[in-house]
Every structure is written in structure tokens, then in C-alpha cells.
Amino acid sequence: MKVYLNYPNPHMMLHGDSTCAEIGKMRKVGQRDVTITRASFTQALSQLTSSGFQLGAQASVNDVWFTINFDDAEFEEAVARYVLRLLGQRYSPLRAARVQKHC
């Protein structure tokens, strides 16, 4: 699953189809992409909750892509929603972020 999270316009877009043409539309030079798998789960969550991971209105930190792969679409969506809740603890606009399934 590929997941796009935008901070200034708080929303999360879930892409279950890795070939979806919308996945590349929001990419920019230096785009952040955090991979979350069985092997990287603990490290990824530590990265996201550390002070080194910032979200803000500036273009360099206003969004992030997640690649979530557990070979279980339902669990991948649950992980994406959990990440949103974790980040919402630090960034209040994300507490009310809408979550949409695109494909």
C-alpha cells in the first residue's frame, strides 16, 4: 500500500493499487518516503515520533509518502491509520484529517 499524508491540508490518501497513476502526482524533488514493513516497523515508528521528523507548512516538510507492506491490505490500512493517530498527537491538524481510499 502507498499512502500519502498532507499536513497543511490535513488528509491521508490510501492507494492499494501500486500501479495507480495518482501515486506519482504529488512527488517532488526530495520527497520523503517512509517504508514500514515487518522488518522496519519499530525503526519507522521511532523515526516518525522523534523530534527529527518534522511536518510543517514549508514545501520541504508539508507531506510524506508511506510504503506499507505486510502482505495484508486490511492490516496495512490499520497501520496507516495508527501512524496518523501517532502524528496527530504532535500535530493537532492531523487529529481531524480525513482518510480516503483511492484505489
Per-residue pLDDT of the chain (103 residues; tens, 9 = 90+): 999 999 999 999 999 998 898 887 767 888 999 999 999 999 999 999 998 999 999 999 999 999 999 999 999 999 999 999 999 999 999 999 999 999 9
- The whole model's pTM is what? 0.93
What is the per-residue DSSP string for 31-94? --EEEEETTTHHHHHHHHHSTT----SSGGGSEEEEEEESS-HHHHHHHHHHHHHHHHHH-GGG
Q: In what helix (H) or strand (E) does residue 100 lie, and over which residues does it extend?
A: strand 98-101
Tell me the per-residue pLDDT of 66-84, one tens digit each, with 9 for 90 and over. 999 999 999 999 999 999 9
End-to-end Cα distance, the chain: 10
